[in-house]
Amino acid sequence: MTSAAQAPPSLIRGLTSRIARVLPLPAGAGMARILVERNILSYRHAWIALVTGFAEPVFYLFSLGIGLGALIKVVTTDGGQTVPYAEFVAPALLAASAMNGAVFDSTFNVFFKLKFAKLYDSVLATPLGPRDVAVGEISWSLIRGALYAAAFLVVAWLIGTVHSWWALLALPAATLIGFAFSAVGMYGTTFMRSWVDFDYVNLVIQPMFLFSATFFPLSTYPGAVQWIVQATPLYHGVALERALMLGEVGPGLLVHVVYLLVFGLLGFVGAARRIEKLLLS
């Protein structure tokens, strides 16, 4: 009989194999799965970091969605639907949860491994190459963002803010959001020189979180500001999640999907090239 100490690694390897099959890994990047597995195994002893990672959006949901929702009874969405305020905010916070999980893993953790732990220098002594590093780390960030989004979606369902069956697609949409932000986050990390540079990450993430039609409909912003909001990647994630969870599904959602996909692919290509340059120079 398999002992308790032996079971988790084998189970995790099996889970990793299944996850890797559905990740957006380019052809020939199978070796990157080893790095994904390494991250999963390492988090067996740091699972509390995963549990607490989605806490901020959940707190916002309860404090603003439910607390402020007692004062703001209903909101009219940009699609013309009138919904309770908690149901309006929940999809936006789901998108933010996916963003947070992906960004902070692909920035802080990657920077530590790259500059201090020198993990990737050791990786190059194996059959893995620099581009496998980019694929592996972005894939792991994507998984982490999806885990946060799944946990948040369960909480949103339990408190009664999910009613449409289209919400089943909210998790794949959150995975796409995670891919976009993790790829660009890793690309930006390759340019950072010290921990002080991470102030720029917060300088970008926090305003985007507050002003991407997260808490109010886009129509409430001044006309000139609306153009700025619509240019941000989180807005497209919020709009996509909100449409799915409220059942406002139409061809216009393809615009958000294409934006996030292109945004993520550009970040991935940039990150792969930068990692290759840094590790081989």
pLDDT by residue, tens only, the chain of 281 residues = 333 333 444 444 454 444 444 444 443 445 677 788 877 777 676 666 666 666 777 777 777 767 776 778 888 888 888 999 889 999 998 998 888 888 888 898 899 888 888 888 888 777 778 888 888 888 888 887 788 788 888 888 888 888 888 888 999 999 999 999 999 999 999 999 899 988 888 899 989 998 999 998 999 999 889 999 999 999 999 999 999 999 888 898 999 999 999 999 999 999 989 988 888 87
Domain that holds residue 173: 40-280
The amino acid that residue 155 corresponds to is V
The 10s digit of each residue's pLDDT in 225-245 is 999 999 999 999 999 999 999
Q: With CA atoms as reference, report the closest residue to 41 among 63, 13, 65, 64.
A: 13
Nearest to 171 by CA among 251, 264, 76, 101: 101
* Domain assignment present for 11: no
Largest CA distance in the chain: 66
Domain assignment present for residue 25? The answer is no
CA–CA gap between residue 233 and residue 260 (Å, rounded): 7
Would residue 233 count as lying in a domain? yes
Euclidean distance between CA atoms 83 and 108, whole angstroms? 37
Kindly state whether residue 70 falls inside one of the protein's structural domains. yes
The domain total for the chain is 1
pTM of the predicted model, to two decimals? 0.82
User: Is residue 91 a part of any domain in this protein?
Assistant: yes
Say if 20 falls within a structural domain: no
Is 77 a domain residue? yes
The reply to whether 89 falls in a domain is yes
Give the model confidence (pLDDT) of 58-90 as tens digits: 777 777 767 776 778 888 888 888 999 889 999
Q: CA-to-CA distance for 53 and 14, rounded, in angstroms?
A: 24
Q: HEC string of the chain?
A: CCCCCCHHHHHHHHHHHHHHHHCCCCCCCCCHHHHHHHHHHHHHHCHHHHHHCCHHHHHHHHHHHHHHHHCCCEEECCCCCEEEHHHHHHHHHHHHHHHHHHHHHHHHHHHHHHHHCCHHHHHCCCCCCHHHHHHHHHHHHHHHHHHHHHHHHHHHHHCCCCCCHHHHHHHHHHHHHHHHHHHHHHHHHCCCCCHHHHHHHHHHHHHHHHCCCCCCCHHHCCHHHHHHHHCCHHHHHHHHHHHHHHCCCCCCHHHHHHHHHHHHHHHHHHHHHHHHHHHHC
